[in-house]
Amino acid sequence: MNKKRILAMTTAALMGVSMMACGSQAGSTGAATDAGSTDTATASTSSVANKDKPLVWYNRQPSNSSTGELDSAALSFNKDTYYVGFDAVQGAELQGQMIADYIEAHKDTLDRNGDGIVGYVLAIGDIGHNDSIARTRGVRKALGTGVEKDGAIVSDPAGTNTDGSSTVVQDGTVAGLTVRELASQEMKNSAGATWDAATAGNAIGTWTSSFGDQIDIVVSNNDGMGMSMFNAWSKAEGVPTFGYDANSDAVAAIADGYSGTISQHADVQAYLTLRVLRNALDGVDVMTGIATADDAGNVLEEGKDYRYDEANRSFYALNLAVTADNYQEFTDATKPYGPVANQLDAAKSPSKKVWLDIYNAADNFLSATYQPLLQNYDDLMNLDVEYIGGDGQTESNITNRLGNPGEYDAFAINMVKTDNAASYTAILNQ
């Protein structure tokens, strides 16, 4: 089923390329058809300059990938620019707590080889991605395995630490048991794609063949990698495995022993992603259908569903833990969120064209959870969205397909690397 989606995206991508090719052939003035010049009949009906069109960054917050510092120029590119993501720290704490609770509840049976140590391995998504860093820190904090440097828990991969000699982690204690991070690494494939599920599947093979009997728990920064390790090893061994994202396949696997995941409320994020664009296009307050109900009755609850950081123009969805106790409520990750699932009136919110990219068409969370949600909401919001799927490695693979921004009314951007916002804004500034 995943294959089908990727295929569909590839086809759409190809169509996009050929359409762009036609577009630039059609006018030898082609290069100048930006800025929504009104003489391009096929373009959007907008006469707004590209640099003034609504823009939303989502899932990857413009920021410095080594320091985490937010890129405020990108976040305030124009008056209708926002970021939509989720509360990384709150979610990371939940994930850490969920694992600590599990250890406490199973303390008598967890230590498989009886060496007195509860050993875990950790799959890291992207060492330069705020969310990945937060999750690594959250787990280390809750299990007592983190070491602090300059006031923050070190998030570097430990490599192999079966003897406990690593300097980036230390042995912790939970419920009177010693806990050790036996190994952790960034799951990046040789072509450069991060959060790579196949790499995680290989890593668990390598780890288990040299110290499998020491591994009592498997932890992952996301479900894509977590499920890959679960299917390759821990499911058959009955070793508890924890992920993040609450993708439908991971939630279903809880019935087969996957121990838990975190919902980053993708149903709220996908809504917000399109909603902030819709509001700007309609010229209404940005909080319409968010903090305050719109005419169709859509409204979210601040503090429960999301929080807003005005200084950074960032909306963050709030996370929920998903375990054997409650997973039944999360089985369909692609269903619109009830309180915001009402159709907008096309007379007040007429059809508009949106360019939207997904940094990696093969990312489990974005392609199997986020995009199907966006596709449900785009209908409800009368938005005609063109979905572009990237290869997860090369920014230009995506920016090349933003050749005719004048044809769109608004943009939703998911960067390959969080440092690269300027590659997009430069195109809109032309």
Per-residue CA distances from 29 to 1, 40, 392 (Å): 42, 10, 32
Residues 178-217, one symbol each (x = binds ligand BGC by CB under 6 A, - = not), give -----------------x----------------------
Q: Can you give 322-353 as a three-state secondary structure string?
A: EECCCHHHHCCCCCCCHHHCCCCCCCCCCCEE
Which tokens go with 186? 């960034």
Bridge partners (DSSP) of residue 288 are 292
Closest C-alpha to 326, from 255, 231, 264, 239: 255
The interface region with ligand BGC, picked from 320-328, 341-349, 363-371, 398-406 by CB under 6 A, is 363-371
Strand intervals (E) in 79-225: 81-86, 117-124, 148-149, 152-153, 159-160, 172-174, 177-186, 215-220
Q: With contacts defined by CB under 6 A, how many residues of the chain interact with ligand BGC?
A: 12
Sequence-distant (≥ 6) Cβ neighbours of residue 144 within 8 angstroms: 170, 171, 172, 173, 174, 179
**Minimum distance from residue 239 beta carbon to ligand BGC (Å):** 21
The interface region with ligand BGC, picked from 100-108, 348-356, 362-370, 398-406 by CB under 6 A, is 362-370
The interface region with ligand BGC, picked from 226-234, 252-260, 318-326, 358-366 by CB under 6 A, is 358-366
Binds 115: which of ligand BGC, Ca ion, none (CB < 5-8 Å by kind): Ca ion
Half-sphere exposure of 183 (CA within 13 A, CB side): 18
CA distance 378 to 376: 6
Helix axes 266-282, 371-380, angle to 10 degrees: 40
**Minimum distance from residue 210 beta carbon to Ca ion (Å):** 15
Binds 222: which of ligand BGC, Ca ion, none (CB < 5-8 Å by kind): ligand BGC
**Minimum distance from residue 164 beta carbon to Ca ion (Å):** 12
Neighbours of 230 (CB within 10 A): 29
Q: Which is nearer to ligand BGC, 267 or 363 (CB)?
A: 363
Bridge partners (DSSP) of residue 411 are 55, 355
The interface region with ligand BGC, picked from 185-193, 283-291, 336-344, 361-369 by CB under 6 A, is 361-369
Q: Which is nearer to ligand BGC, 58 or 337 (CB)?
A: 58
- What is the Cα gyration radius of the chain? 22
Q: Which is nearer to ligand BGC, 60 or 141 (CB)?
A: 60
Residues of span 114-143 touching ligand BGC by CB under 6 A? 125, 131
Residues of span 111-140 touching Ca ion by CB under 5 A? 111, 113, 115, 117
Half-sphere exposure of 69 (CA within 13 A, CB side): 4
Bridge partners (DSSP) of residue 153 are 148
Binds 210: which of Ca ion, ligand BGC, none (CB < 5-8 Å by kind): none
Sequence-distant (≥ 6) Cβ neighbours of residue 149 within 8 angstroms: none
**Minimum distance from residue 244 beta carbon to ligand BGC (Å):** 5
Residues 242-261, one symbol each (x = binds ligand BGC by CB under 6 A, - = not), give --xx----------------
13, 33, 43, 60: which one binds ligand BGC (CB under 6 A)? 60
33, 59, 334, 399: which one binds ligand BGC (CB under 6 A)? 59
Residues that bind ligand BGC (CB under 6 A): 59-60, 125, 131, 195, 222, 224, 244-245, 363, 365-366
